[in-house]
Every structure is written in C-alpha cells, then in structure tokens.
Amino acid sequence: ALGLKTKLLANEIYCYDLIDSTNEEAKRKALAGAPDGSLFVTEQQSGGKGRLGRSWTSPAGQGLWFTILLRSSLLPSQVASITLLAGLAVCRAVRKATGCAAMIKWPNDIVIGSKKICGILTEMAAEMDRIEYVAVGIGVNVNNENFPEELSAKATSLRLESGSFVRRVPLLQEILLEFETVLNDYPLHPESLLNEYKTQCVSLNRRVGFTRANQKMTGVAEDISPSGELIVRSDDGVLYPVYSGEVTVQGI
C-alpha cells in the first residue's frame, strides 16, 4: 500500500477522511490490538492535539497528519530518544523531498528559518516498567497557504517555503523510510545519530528560556545528553538538564 519501502512501519494502515486525532485513534486501536508499526493517517482532524495541551490546526488536504504506533520491546527511558529520532527522520525527509533547509528545534519541532513546519507529539502507555505502546504523532504543514492570525508569525508550510506545491504521499513515504532507518540504526550507532541530530539542531549555542521548579530561567543551551535532555548553562553558571516542557529559543 502507498508504494512503501518500509519493512515494519505501516504494515497495517488505517486511513480516514476525518477523525478527532490520529493519536487518539492510535491509542484506541492499540487497546483493540493494532500491531507494532501501524500507521494512522487522516485528511483532516477535528481535535488535533499539540504538546503541552495545545491544539494543532489540521485543515483538510493541506498537511500530513499521522501517527505511528510502536509496541515492540521498549524501555520507558528510550521514549525520549524515539521522539528525537522522529524529528531527525522528518528533518532528513523534508530536505530530500523539497530541498528546504529544515532544522530541528529541540526536542522535536521542525523549523525552516524561524518558523515551524512540523510538530511531533509522542504519547506512551506503560504498565509497571513495561511500555505497552508509544504513539508518535506527526503533523507536517505541507501545502497550507495561510494560517490563523495567531499562528502566522510562527508557522509556515513547505509550499510557502519552497514556492511550489508539494506531493504528500512521496513525502510520507520518505518520512516513514527515514524513521524506520533511524529506529534500526539507533541501537547500533547511538552516538552518530546523536551527532547528526546536534548538527541539525538550532537550539544549541543559543540563549534559551526554560522553567525549573516553576521558575523561569535563562541560559545557553550547550549540549544534548545521550538520553535526549537539553543541557543548559544558566546565567549563574550552573548546568541544568532540561527534560522537555517549554523551552524558548531567542529569535525562534
């Protein structure tokens, strides 16, 4: 189906015209036994979800709104890395498919210049110390020609950036293939993928704002740890690992 070159990802495909959220659907179908690698993809979402409880604008036909269900033997500690790997895969695929200079804003927004073209929402269900499943939801603004007023300063699409219409199916194929490749390579070469991630990451060596124990702090992002934390040197010289939550990058 879809002319895919992947072995595991999208072995089973659930396609919709309209659904509340592909992440919600993936979680419902996970409970009903959907297998490892299942792909949930829709033309439109009525309740697209972003990180930190935000909503995600998902108009009909203009983007790629999909979720990949992973349920092989994963440790909770590996989930942060999976999210970073998904970002790296989208970054590679967008560059290949469109030539746009896509970069990653830690942990996993894909940006072109200072505007976002893709967001990733990873949700997991764990029982004791065992991961039941991980739902990796990816939203790519592909052919949007405009955005709601409140988003227009920070969101863009591949069409707006490249100046031409972008075919969604080849891009989806490329993202799935790159995601499968990085998932397979990660256990073998974790350092080389972390290094590639760092070279594509706009947050490093920039001033960032972050929250620590409910306090707003600022500092410079110096590194990314092997488990995916952003390492920030605060203005008083202390190194902090930042796990996720809200990080703002100055100028982005």
Which residues contact ligand BTN (rule: CB under 6 A)?
21-23, 45, 48-51, 54, 56, 58, 65-67, 109, 119-121, 137-139
**89's tokens:** 């895969």
Helix segments in 47-165, DSSP class H: 79-98, 158-162
- Closest approach of ligand BTN to the CB of residue 70, in Å: 14
For residues 59 and 170, which CB has a smaller minimum distance to ligand BTN in the complex? 59
For residues 88 and 184, which CB has a smaller minimum distance to ligand BTN in the complex? 88
Query: Which has the closest alpha carbon to 194: 162, 160, 223, 172?
Result: 223
For residues 8 and 151, which CB has a smaller minimum distance to ligand BTN in the complex? 151
- Closest approach of ligand BTN to the CB of residue 191, in Å: 27
Query: Which has the closest alpha carbon to 137: 2, 32, 41?
Result: 41
For residues 119 and 219, which CB has a smaller minimum distance to ligand BTN in the complex? 119
Query: Which has the closest alpha carbon to 174: 201, 143, 140?
Result: 140
Residue 191 phi/psi, 5-degree rounding, is -65, -40
For residues 23 and 144, which CB has a smaller minimum distance to ligand BTN in the complex? 23
For ligand BTN, the nearest residue by Cβ is 119
- Closest approach of ligand BTN to the CB of residue 19, in Å: 9
- Closest approach of ligand BTN to the CB of residue 147, in Å: 14
For residues 15 and 75, which CB has a smaller minimum distance to ligand BTN in the complex? 15
For residues 123 and 185, which CB has a smaller minimum distance to ligand BTN in the complex? 123
C-alpha dist (Å) from residue 219 to 141, 167, 194, 207, 209 = 31, 40, 22, 6, 7
Contact 36, 9 (CB under 8 A): no
CA dist 197 and 191 (Å) reads 10
CA dist 241 and 136 (Å) reads 23
- Closest approach of ligand BTN to the CB of residue 157, in Å: 14
- Closest approach of ligand BTN to the CB of residue 203, in Å: 14
- Closest approach of ligand BTN to the CB of residue 26, in Å: 8
Residue type, 217: M
Can you say how many angstroms the Cα of residue 154 is from the centroid of all Cα atoms in its chain? Answer: 16
DSSP output for 85-107: HHHHHHHHHHHHHH---EEEETT
